[in-house]
Amino acid sequence: MNVLVARMDNLGDVLLAGPCVRAVAAGAERVVLLAGPRGRAAGELLPGVDEVVTWCAPWIDPEPPPVARDETEALVRRLREYSFDAALVLTSFHQSPLPLALLLRMAGVPWIGAISEDYPGSLLDLRYRVPGDPPEPVRMLSLAKAAGFSLPPGDDGGLAIRGPLPPVERLVGDEDYVVVHPAASVPARQPSADRSAAIVRALQAAGRRVVVTGSPSESALTSQVAGDALDLGGRTDLPELASVLAAADVVVAPNTGPAHLAAAVGTSVVSLFAPVVPSSRWAPYGVPSEVLGDQHAACRDSRARVCPVPGHPCLDRVAPEAVADAVARLSRAWSRRPARR
């Protein structure tokens, strides 16, 4: 069986799809992941994925390109060449699977399943509804199970990435450290630079060696936050970042892809979580973690991209010493297992 799995948004969303992908891979001869440009690098790390196809969906991407007939038709032609037997369309609760289901029908995919509240007509063969409010990896895995795919024996359903990871001793040295990753994909989900810098100082005052991480576009922020800590902003690709996170004692991060990457390599996470989306769905999954931040703030469930409350109180009132205390608790409580590879 040749199966397409689609998850077309951000890096973290693709990582959270990992258990679903592995379940499909256990029952299929080939799995192709359709990802957006923001999630492709994560898709390349997922066990069970044989190939990643990238396309920017105008109804998914936060900065969508115009709908272009030639690009859409090119995607349909390309997907038709794979002769898929089935497809699963994975989406967040606020996204519709139906535009992609229409394109998959045009590409000749004979069976399509998705979680959908909207009436799909003939676009879906499996219209699945998820009871309750489970964590996102559980939600997506439940779709795979409804489609007849199950995790193989011995797979605990946690997050995972491919190994081996690249060596990073040249970057981090051989002393123990805690990672602080200050950035998120939208401003509403990350503390201010001043608060992140204060967290770094509190961890150092508690005797911790701190490594600050970030993408190239976040290097100005990491430089501001790091102070005299080790600043790796812009100095790692995604596999190297995974390796840095895997070797960390604990990771401190907002609701962002690297928090899920830390969980995928088995590292505990102190989650600085803004309640613009529910922590029950999006908190780090499958590893010990502590969620800090006011989960009843005025921005709760707003999906705001920019904080609507002056002063960003849900995160910027988190005491740096409380973060250091949470790191200490997780350090004592968790003996990290090796990453599933």
Average pLDDT per 10 consecutive residues for the chain, totaling 341 residues: 97 98 98 97 98 97 93 98 98 94 98 96 97 94 98 97 96 96 93 97 98 97 98 97 98 97 98 93 96 90 86 93 98 55 37
**Same-domain pairing of 91 and 186:** no
**Same-domain pairing of 104 and 212:** no
**Same-domain pairing of 196 and 296:** yes
**Token pair for residue 315?**
């995160």
pLDDT at 339: 41
Range of the domain at 134: 2-146
| Domains: count for the chain | 2
239 assigned to some structural domain:
yes
**Same-domain pairing of 108 and 34:** yes
Coil, strand, or helix at residue 183?
Answer: coil
CA distances from residue 215 to 136, 201, 266 in whole angstroms, order as listed: 24, 21, 21
**Token pair for residue 173?**
């040295």
Cα 41 from Cα 68, distance rounded (Å): 24
The CATH number that applies at residue 99 is 3.40.50.2000
What are the b/e assignments for 142-153, b being 16+ CB within 10 Å?
bbbebbebebee
pLDDT at 296: 86
pLDDT at 308: 87
Cα 252 from Cα 199, distance rounded (Å): 9
pTM (two decimals): 0.95
pLDDT at 334: 55
